Structure 1
């Protein structure tokens, strides 16, 4: 998170300087009349006039903003420049004596609650969080699974589902894949939150909202059997790739896209690409990995040969020293998970798909 810290008072400036030294990627702004002489050396920005004038620029440049200014003044200043909770930066207010750090804007999605706790820990302030799910120590619907890399893909009913959670209405967490240790609070999961292992099971179970964690593409008609569903994409799919030397990204990506579509799997749930170490410098795979932010892992031939394979190939062994590439690579990278597509050859590309096995 790239953070801006801004102050307009003498005491606030002292606090701001300490914070800027301890928060990574933090830039400090304060009024010129509090100049110390080391601002250029420390990369501190000085300003004259109202801080209101620089706020639109800070909103564009930073992920989080810590304002050492009174809460009322901050509310009035930021109100005209607010756009959307999915894009507005996190805003935290710290009082002039650093007694209270208050999460003001974008508490969940923007990370203001996390930033508030960080600022409080560094200054000794009391963190003030008013988000209902945090206060009640329950599931934050708009942040569910974020620490694992989950992203919601179907959020039409996000507001209704969040209201159902904080109002302690019957909630179903429908989990077909992904990490299972998502309950992070130091209290027992409340009785109104229950789990189901499939959408089919969830449809048969009474509930007021459903949080669906799955790598599968779900049609609207299937979702219509659920009340206020929100769909999350866990990082659960591992793709094993083998290809002829010099195969371009366009061909590899086309095969990946077609394969995932045929399996009705979401591309947003891809966890990694895997292959033999002979392909660690294969440009087409590296480009696909980089463009999609998918880790690319490789294995030695002897490692691949120890993995189960539905069909071994003497031809592949002749060229690589391994009896198979895509299938055993997918198996190993999925932590011994279920291989749902053992091997498919398309042009210059061979592909396999597995579902990552989570530790119990």
Structure 2
């Protein structure tokens, strides 16, 4: 809880590059959903709108006027996205603005989430690029009033943000961005994830080149690399990170089954061990899927709340529609479905292939499928 007082700049727990702030009932409801679509923002809202899951979801509550919170957000974050009226935001930021070289990007989103407006630090602070990316992520209309504004290339720090992609490390964001802007040779390798990330109605700049494998990129020796993958890279590929960024698309579906009352800690340990064995990134988990008999399972609810993962449940009839290599009469006897973790993962991923067939460890059974982006039209 952040207690705001006149004359004091509060301490905030910065975890991500952007801050998202809401102060109304509808604004808070929308902002909570925005964090699922745009994973680069820490969410702040007033304590009177608390729902009880804020600690688990790493949401920060504040008590007092938002005007007293903004100076801290200005100092700590690369950008501040306000679900607050434009006039109010302009009045509140006017006393704390310094200059266009140091001020963060400031965006305003209306209460219904229809428009995203670039307010401050459009070019240098990246507000215009952030406006386009955030608007696409939440399905809103971007409003940029800078007459000379044109998007010429890939915004490295926001690449894939509209799909929920996350970069592994921010260490090389600036030098890779410099390579992109300076029209140096930049290699792009995509192993999974949405394919329609180029947002413009013209061809990519010639300095951005798409390669089919990391081996090709290593041989080509580009100035910088953008690698889109859900796997952990091998030691011989680490040369790409000398000036490269790895992006983690939301491509992995965890099908989970567990005994009633299984603790969060046991479920998460099995997931972590399994992903490590398969050399898959936890940042690429898109959702947890299971049977509807588990819709109130406390361990699964705690897990998905902690990581802000969608929690998807299916009826036995829906699960039985999926092709299974290992149908179980025992599972059918107790659940009405011939499987839980495998068909749940397959159904949500919209595929018939498993990355991992069911693995049982203690009280937990886990299966993994990779999202079929081609079938989803992505």
- Give the TM-score normalised by structure 2: 0.67
Verify the 8 A CA contact 2:100 2:125 in the aligned structure 1: no
Deviation sequence 1:257-310 (CA, Å, 0-9, x none): 111111111111100000111111111111111111110111111221221212
User: Is 1:332 the equivalent of 2:336?
Assistant: no
Which one has a bigger Cα radius of gyration? Answer: 1
SS in 2 for 1:210: strand
Task: Answer 1 or 2: higher relative contact order, Cα 8 Å, separation at least 6.
Answer: 2
Residue 251 of structure 1 and its aligned partner are, at CA, apart by: 1.0
Deviation at 1:107, TM superposition (A): 2.0
Cα gap change, 1:204 to 1:350, in 2 (>3 Å): same
Match for residue 138 of structure 1 among 142, 148, 153 = 153
Question: SS of the residue aligned with 1:75?
Answer: coil
SS of the aligned residue for 2:257 comes to strand
Inter-partner Cα distance in structure 2 for 1:114 and 1:335: 26
Which residue of 2 is the match for residue 277 of structure 1? 292
Separation (CA, whole Å) in 2 of partners of 1:58 and 1:193: 34
Q: Which residue of structure 2 lines up, in the alignment, with residue 187 of structure 1? A: 202
Cα distance between partner residues in 1 of 2:22 and 2:309: 27
5+ residue gaps in structure 1? Answer: 5-23, 28-44, 48-52, 83-87, 93-99
The aligned counterpart of 2:48 is: none
Does 2:183 align with 1:168?
A: yes
1:103 to 118, 121, 143: 121
Aligned twin of 1:128: 146
Q: Give the match for residue 74 of structure 1.
A: 97
| Counterpart mapping for 1:1-360 below 5 A | 1-2=20-21, 56=71, 59=74, 63-64=81-82, 66-67=89-90, 74-75=97-98, 90=106, 102-103=120-121, 106-107=125-126, 111=130, 121=143, 127-128=145-146, 135-219=150-234, 221-225=236-240, 228-336=243-351, 338-359=353-374, 360=377
* 3-state SS, counterpart of residue 150 of structure 2: helix
Rounded Cα–Cα distance in structure 1 between residues aligned with 2:69 and 2:287 = 41
Checking the alignment, whether the CA contact within 8 Å between 2:132 and 2:142 is kept in structure 1 is no
Q: Secondary structure at the match of 2:217?
A: helix
- SS in structure 1 opposite 2:121? strand
8 Å CA contact retained: 2:129, 2:151 = no
In structure 2, C-alpha distance between the alignment counterparts of 1:336 and 1:244, rounded to whole Å: 26
CA contact (8 A) 1:109 1:143 kept: no
- Tell me the CA shift for residue 78 of structure 1: 9.6
Q: How many residues align?
A: 298
Distance 1:347 1:358 in 2: 33
Deviates more, 1:162-171 or 1:344-353: 162-171
CA change 1:58–1:179 in 2 (3 A) is: closer
Distance 1:120 1:258, change over 3 A: closer
2:165 and 2:269 map into 1 onto residues whose CA distance is 24
